[in-house]
Structures are given as C-alpha cells and as structure tokens.
Amino acid sequence: MSTVATVDGRPVLVDTCETCGAPVSWIPCPFGGWWAHDDHPGDEHTVTGPPSPEEWMDDCGFLHTALIEPEETS
C-alpha cells in the first residue's frame, strides 16, 4: 500500500518494490507517472500498479490531485 512521505518539504508517494523490497517513489507527470528507486538496481523491478489519486477542479480552474486512503470503520 502506498504511503505519503515528505521529501525536501514536498509530499511524495512511497511504496515497496515487489522484486527487492526497497522503497520506491512515485514520479508524477502530466500524462501519468512511474515508480522509481533512488538508486537504480536493475530492470524488471515493479510495484503492483500506479496509485489511484482523487482529482478535482476548483472554482478558479486549478486541478488538484491527492492520494486519499479509505478510512477503516469499526
């Protein structure tokens, strides 16, 4: 499961590589994004899939994207 960490004062989505168990960060771009290690260990390292962020546009036309984890209810 992806979590949000702070790197250099900005939020970064972090998960665990299924191949080597090392942490990977989500690199966003306007057309999607990709998971990346800080130090590239080799090809064929993977995470289950891209995050599923919520997106919405405010009244000024700004697009906001955030990862929203479902809350557990008891």
Report long-range pairs for 46-51 (Cβ below 8 Å, ≥24 apart): 46/17, 46/18, 46/19, 47/15, 47/16, 47/17, 47/18, 48/15, 48/18, 50/26, 51/2, 51/13, 51/26
Mean residue pLDDT of the chain comes to 72
Average pLDDT over residues 21-34: 78
Per-residue pLDDT band for 7 (boundaries 50, 70, 90) equals low
Does this model's pTM top 0.85?
Answer: no
Which pair of structure tokens corresponds to residue 18?
């299924």
Per-residue pLDDT band for 70 (boundaries 50, 70, 90) equals very low
Q: Is the pLDDT of residue 44 over 60?
A: yes
In the chain, where the domains are located: 3-66
